[in-house]
Protein backbone atom coordinates (compact mmCIF):
# COMPACT_ATOMS: atom_id res chain seq x y z
CA UNK A 1 0.00 0.00 0.00
CA UNK A 2 2.86 2.36 0.81
CA UNK A 3 4.44 1.65 -2.58
CA UNK A 4 1.15 2.45 -4.33
CA UNK A 5 0.99 5.80 -2.50
CA UNK A 6 4.53 6.72 -3.56
CA UNK A 7 3.77 5.72 -7.13
CA UNK A 8 0.62 7.87 -7.16
CA UNK A 9 2.54 10.76 -5.66
CA UNK A 10 5.26 10.48 -8.31
CA UNK A 11 2.60 10.32 -11.01
CA UNK A 12 0.92 13.45 -9.62
CA UNK A 13 4.22 15.35 -9.50
CA UNK A 14 5.11 14.28 -13.04
CA UNK A 15 1.67 15.30 -14.27
CA UNK A 16 2.08 18.72 -12.65
CA UNK A 17 5.51 19.14 -14.22
CA UNK A 18 4.13 18.27 -17.67
CA UNK A 19 1.35 20.85 -17.25
CA UNK A 20 3.91 23.52 -16.35
CA UNK A 21 6.09 22.68 -19.35
CA UNK A 22 3.07 22.58 -21.66
CA UNK A 23 1.90 25.95 -20.34
CA UNK A 24 5.33 27.42 -20.98
CA UNK A 25 5.32 26.30 -24.60
CA UNK A 26 1.76 27.56 -25.15
CA UNK A 27 2.74 30.99 -23.81
CA UNK A 28 5.95 30.96 -25.84
CA UNK A 29 3.98 30.15 -29.00
CA UNK A 30 1.58 33.07 -28.48
CA UNK A 31 4.47 35.38 -27.56
CA UNK A 32 6.21 34.59 -30.84
CA UNK A 33 3.02 34.87 -32.90
CA UNK A 34 1.96 38.20 -31.39
CA UNK A 35 5.42 39.75 -31.64
CA UNK A 36 5.81 38.53 -35.21
CA UNK A 37 2.46 40.09 -36.12
CA UNK A 38 3.51 43.37 -34.52
CA UNK A 39 6.75 43.36 -36.50
CA UNK A 40 4.86 42.61 -39.71
CA UNK A 41 2.47 45.49 -39.01
CA UNK A 42 5.36 47.86 -38.40
CA UNK A 43 7.08 46.91 -41.66
CA UNK A 44 3.84 47.08 -43.63
CA UNK A 45 3.22 50.66 -42.50
CA UNK A 46 6.84 51.80 -42.46
CA UNK A 47 7.36 54.64 -44.91
CA UNK A 48 11.06 55.29 -44.34
CA UNK A 49 10.73 57.72 -41.47
CA UNK A 50 10.55 55.98 -38.17
CA UNK A 51 11.04 58.58 -35.44
CA UNK A 52 10.29 61.95 -36.87
CA UNK A 53 11.10 64.61 -34.29
DSSP one-letter string for 2-48: HHHHHHHHHHHHHHHHHHHHHHHHHHHHHHHHHHHHHHHHHHHS--S
The model's pLDDT over 16-36, given as tens digits with 9 standing for 90+, comes to 999 999 999 999 999 999 999
Mean residue pLDDT across the chain:
88
pTM, two decimal places: 0.68
Using the predicted structure, report yes or no on whether residue 44 has a pLDDT greater than 90: no
Amino acid sequence: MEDNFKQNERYFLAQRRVKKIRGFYIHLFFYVVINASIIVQIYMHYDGEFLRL
